[in-house]
Chain A
Amino acid sequence: SLRCSQNSDLCCRRDFYVDFRDIGWNDWIIKPEGYQINYCVGQCPLHVAGSPGMASSFHTAVFNLVKANNVQASGHSCCVPTRRRPLSVLYFDRNSNIVKTDIPDMIVDSCGCS
């Protein structure tokens, strides 16, 4: 998985951090102080599709076969998250109760071509 740089426009992960103070949410979210909402951006040429997000497997073999046969449906490939992490949040609800929860799949860890 690539982190975005100015030298390439290939599919990569762009880091973005939302500070809860900047959006005025630090009064009800106790922890964390911000949200690392990364996202995926960039091009997925056909030869990149299926890797690195897709592990070498039966699926890769099928996908390569489809590409080799130049089926129209395989023409589209997207830059998508391939691994995500959970986010633990400690916050006040509307009744001033403190709630702690782990939200799955919130932080994009790596990107790849679908």
Chain B
Amino acid sequence: AAAAEPRCPSCPAGPERWLLEEVAKKQLLEKLRLRDRPRLAHAVPRAAVTRALRRLQAGGARRSPAGTGGEEEEEEEEQSYEIISFAETDLTSPSSLGLQFQFSQAQDQDLRILQAQLWLYLRVPRSGLTLRIFLASKTGAGAGGNRTLLGERRLSTAGSGWSSVPLLPGLQGFFSGHSRTLRLELDGSDVTAQLNASRSHQPFLVAKVKVREPGHRVAKR
């Protein structure tokens, strides 16, 4: 009998409840610019998600507030996103590793990248390690081919741990284009042996993105 009764006398029930849930679904999908709810093809391991979120949270706490004055006002009109994308790895050459990311980039969006960092779990030898991150060309020329240097970092503290490499401003060009697959190449002295890319230590990219709606800009002018 208790189960048959509504949760509270003033709570909507039946068709009204269904209608409100549909409104809530529609509103969320519209605001997230999604046509339908995402169907996850492959689940990301829980441990990888937890680690990545912890990294993102730590990064957010360290970041200083955004710009001031007019810039801040302008940014209020934009919707911001923070994205964590997990890499699929493949061996390009003995000294080079390919990292591939997929993005669902809606058409007609004016994206501006505020921050982008690649996180890797590495075992740094005593002699140190120099990492170079390249944006691979669309044709996938591979090591030594047509590619753009995005970031370089020298790691000198021996031991295992997470390291991050900032990828701006070189990555802005990718997000301005229409490509949805980002391919990075990782070069370093025997980097493939030093990188731990196991399921719970999957390399990931964190990007802070602002979307400017075309309507807003026209209205502003």
Residues in chain A within 8 A of chain B (CB atoms): 4-6, 14, 16, 18, 22-23, 25, 27-28, 30, 35, 37, 39, 89-104, 106
Given that A6-B10, A95-B102, A96-B42 are contacting pairs, would A101 and B82 also be in contact in the complex, using a CB cutoff of 8 Å?
yes
User: Number of B residues whose C-beta is below 8 Å from A?
Assistant: 38
Please choose the segment from B22-30, B63-71, B125-133 that sits at the chain A interface, where 4 or more of its residues have CB less than 8 A away. Answer: B22-30
19 contacts between A and B (CB under 8 A): A5-B10, A16-B11, A16-B12, A18-B20, A23-B25, A28-B38, A35-B28, A90-B53, A91-B38, A92-B38, A93-B34, A93-B38, A96-B41, A97-B104, A98-B83, A99-B81, A102-B80, A103-B31, A106-B27
- Residues of chain A with a CB closer than 8 A to B28's CB: 35, 89, 103
Interface residues of B in 107-145 (CB under 8 A from A): none
- Residues of chain A with a CB closer than 8 A to B103's CB: 95, 97
Is B157 located at the chain interface by the 8 A CB criterion? Answer: no
- Residues of chain A with a CB closer than 8 A to B83's CB: 93, 97-100
Does B23 lie within 8 Å of A37, measured CB to CB? yes
Q: Which of A14, A95, A98, A103 contacts B32 (CB 8 A)?
A: A103
Does B80 lie within 8 Å of A101, measured CB to CB? yes
Q: A92 CB to closest chain B CB, in angstroms?
A: 6
